[in-house]
Structure formats: structure tokens, C-alpha cells
């Protein structure tokens, strides 16, 4: 199975359009060691011809253009695409807005929890993906399914599972102390398996906290892409960007004893890659103490166009 990281940043990307924080400013200037990133998404293929997207970022058009594997086949007729399906892990803008780039009458299948499909159903702009050609299928936790494109199974099996998270920003009910309205189905992790080889990896781009269920699931995993939004809880506040902590936005931090580096350390995960990295995160800067700390702890910092074979 081939995995291509289309985008590795959190919502907003790096640089973010209106951000003058040090990472965005330096990425914009082309300062060495801080590489621009588009918003998080991964493409997966069992056969190198049919591809499944894990989330559809607002940067999807740019990501497709930068990825030859996702271009139409030259001998495939006037309209064709190797993108056969999209699996959504949440309803945030950075996970779903790219669906709008997949209009123009191309058949494919969109998978998501009932909660996420509700978001699509209640926003009629998504009907631009002609419902006669773009099927929407509900994923149910604990029921693995073979991903199907317009002409059948593509050789990838997915199991979706609940992860502690948060309702999308634009659906917050504002009632502090009630988990910001989070319900089951808001934040999902994926186990992605190559049907033929049985090889698999985990995709968890959003996670508020590592709980016992997640720990049990990830134990001994061969490969994990994991929420790398923030390094410290208050870094967005300290940099004068947004007046919210990591806890408030439903993302675990990397550092500290409750952080992802420490929490996932005992699980013997063979390869660990951070993805969905916010533009405030100091690990984005090569050679920074924070970057060195996560790398010495065995983590890789994901980047756009990163390729992994499993
Ligand atoms: C999140 O996952 O919290 C998002 O990246 C927020 C956003 O899209 O702005
Ligand atoms: Mn996000």
C-alpha cells in the first residue's frame, strides 16, 4: 500500500493567509528550515492506480496538481480521475471543504459518520457533487468496510473508530463545560488496511486526549499518523494569534506528561508521524529544540509529498 501525504498542516496551513506569527512570516519569506505546508490530507492506494483520500482539504486542487498519481490518466478519456473515494474523519472546514474541488460530474464515493454526513446534508453547496454520481455512505464504528469506488472495491479496507475530540468550530454551542457539544461521530480515527497484503496503518489527525480505548487500539501499530496540532497548550495565546488553548480547540499537545509524545511512548508503535501541525507549532522549524525533542523521542514531523509504503 502506498501512502502520500498531500498536506501536513492544520486548518489554515503554513503560512496561513492572515497570519503574521513567526512561523507563517518566515515560511512566507522563504527562511531556511521552515517549509510551507498545505492542510492535512493523505492519499492511499493499494494498486497505484485507484486512490482514496483521507479528508478533503481546502487545498485539494493544489494538492492534486502537485501529485502526478492523482492526475487523470492520459489514455482514460476526456474526463477521468484516479480518485475513487474520500473518507472523512471530521466535519471541520479543513477536512471537508476540498470536496467542493471534486465537482464537475466525476463519480466517487464519500464516506463519513452520520454526524459528518449531516453537515454535508445541511449545507446545500455540497450538492454541487451531483448526488447521482457521488454516493455518500455512512461509516459505523466497529464495522470495517471495503472502500468502493464507482466500479467496485479498490483494495483498501477501513475501520473507523471514535476518538476524543470536538464538534467543528462553526457548530460550537458555546456552552463551556459540556465538551463544547461533542457527540459520538464528531472525531474519528481510521485503521486503513491493504486488503490483499493485510498490512495496515492508523490515521488519527484529530485527538483531544489519549484514552484507554485508543491506547489498546494503537498498541504495537506498524505506522501511525497522529494529531500534531500544538506543542504546548497556550502557544497560540503566547504568540498573540488566537485566544484559545489546545484543550479548548480539542487537540492534544505534543509536550508534557499528558502530551502525545509521552502518552504514546509505551505503546511500541514502529513508526510515528505527526500530521495536522498548526502554524504556531515550533516543531515546524528544523533544528528547533522542540523539533529535536520530538525527533529524539522517535517521531517524524510529516511534510507535504511525504511518501510511505507499508
Ligand atoms: C481544527 O482541527 O481544530 C481545525 O484545524 C480548525 C480550523 O480548521 O480552523
Ligand atoms: Mn483541523
**Cβ of 206 less than 6 Å from ligand 1:** yes
Question: Given ligand 1 and candidates 93, 189, 204, 274, which is best to mutate, with the most ligand atoms within 8 Å of its CB?
Answer: 93
d(Cα 153, Cα 130) in Å, to the nearest integer? 21
Q: How many domains is the chain partitioned into structurally?
A: 1
Number of H helices, E strands in the chain: 9, 14
- Which pLDDT value is given to residue 229? 98
In this structure, what are the phi and psi dihedrals at residue 176, rounded to the nearest 5 degrees? -60, 145
CB of 94 sitting under 6 A from ligand 1: yes
- Cell for 10? 492544520
- Written as nine digits, the cell of 110 is 464519500
pLDDT digits (tens, 9 = 90+) for 77-123: 999 999 999 999 999 999 999 999 999 999 999 999 999 999 999 99
User: In sequence order, which ranges of the chain are alpha helices (DSSP H)?
Assistant: 22-29, 60-65, 93-96, 114-121, 212-218, 235-238, 246-249, 260-264, 289-296
Is the C-beta atom of 249 inside 6 A of ligand 1? yes
- What is the mean pLDDT of the segment spanning 127-132? 95
CA atoms within 13 A on the CB side of 184: 7
- What does each C-alpha distance from 160 to 17, 32, 109, 115, 267 come to in angstroms? 32, 38, 16, 13, 20
- Tell me the pLDDT band of 28, cut-offs 50, 70 and 90: very high
Report the atom number in ligand 1 closest to the C-alpha of 249: 3
Q: Which atom of ligand 1 is nearest to the CA of 278?
A: 5
Which of 8, 9, 10, 187 to mutate to test ligand 1, by most ligand atoms within 8 A of the CB atom?
10
Average pLDDT, the chain: 96
Residue nearest to atom 6 of ligand 1 (CA): 11
Q: How confident is the model at residue 176 (pLDDT cuts 50, 70, 90)?
A: very low
Domain extent, residue 154, equals 2-309
CA of 33 to the centre of ligand 2 (A): 23
Return d(Cα 19, Cα 37) in angstroms, integer.
14
Residues, CB within 5 angstroms of ligand 2 (ion): 11, 92, 94
Q: Confidence band (pLDDT; 50, 70, 90) for 172?
A: confident
- Going by pLDDT thresholds of 50, 70 and 90, the confidence category of residue 177 is very low
| Ligand 1 atom nearest to 94, measured from its CA | 8
CATH number at residue 246: 3.60.15.10
Tell me how far apart the alpha carbons of residues 305 and 221 are, in angstroms, rounded to a whole number: 23
Amino acid at each position: 500500500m502506498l501512502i502520500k501525504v498531500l498536506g501536513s498542516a492544520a486548518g489554515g496551513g503554513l503560512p496561513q493567509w492572515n497570519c503574521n506569527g513567526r512561523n507563517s512570516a518566515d515560511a512566507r519569506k522563504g527562511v531556511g528550515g521552515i517549509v510551507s505546508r498545505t492542510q492535512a490530507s493523505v492519499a492511499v492506494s493499494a494498486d497505484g492506480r485507484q486512490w482514496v483520500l483521507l479528508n478533503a482539504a481546502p487545498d485539494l486542487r493544489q494538492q492534486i496538481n502537485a501529485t502526478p498519481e492523482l492526475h487523470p490518466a492520459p489514455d482514460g478519456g476526456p474526463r477521468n480521475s484516479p480518485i475513487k473515494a474520500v473518507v472523512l474523519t471530521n466535519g471541520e472546514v479543513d477536512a471537508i471543504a476540498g470536496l467542493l474541488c471534486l465537482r464537475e460530474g466525476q463519480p466517487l464515493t464519500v464516506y463519513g459518520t452520520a454526524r459528518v454526513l449531516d453537515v454535508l446534508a445541511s449545507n446545500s453547496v455540497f450538492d454541487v457533487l451531483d448526488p447521482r454520481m457521488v454516493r455518500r455512505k455512512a461509516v459505523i464504528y466497529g464495522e470495517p468496510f471495503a472502500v468502493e469506488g464507482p466500479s467496485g472495491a479498490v483494495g483498501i479496507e477501513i475501520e473507523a473508530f471514535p476518538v476524543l475530540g470536538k464538534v467543528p468550530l462553526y457548530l460550537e454551542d458555546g456552552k463551556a463545560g459540556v465538551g463544547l457539544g461533542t457527540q459520538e461521530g464528531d472525531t474519528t480515527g481510521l485503521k486503513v488496511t491493504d486488503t490483499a497484503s493485510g498490512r495496515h496503518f492508523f490515521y488519527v489527525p484529530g485527538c483531544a486526549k489519549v484514552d484507554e480505548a485508543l491506547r489498546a487500539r494503537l498498541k504495537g501499530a506498524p505506522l501511525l499518523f497522529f494529531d500534531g496540532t500544538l506543542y504546548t497548550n497556550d502557544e497560540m495565546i503566547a504568540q498573540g494569534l488566537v485566544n484559545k488553548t489546545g484543550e479548548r480547540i480539542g487537540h492534544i499537545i505534543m509536550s508534557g506528561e499528558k502530551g502525545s509524545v509521552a502518552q504514546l511512548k509505551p505503546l511500541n508503535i514502529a513508526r510515528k508521524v505527526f500530521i495536522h501541525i498548526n502554524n504556531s507549532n515550533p516543531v515546524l522549524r528544523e533544528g528547533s529544540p522542540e523539533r529535536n525533542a520530538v525527533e529524539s523521542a522517535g517521531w517524524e514531523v510529516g511534510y507535504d509529498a511525504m511518501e510511505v509504503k507499508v
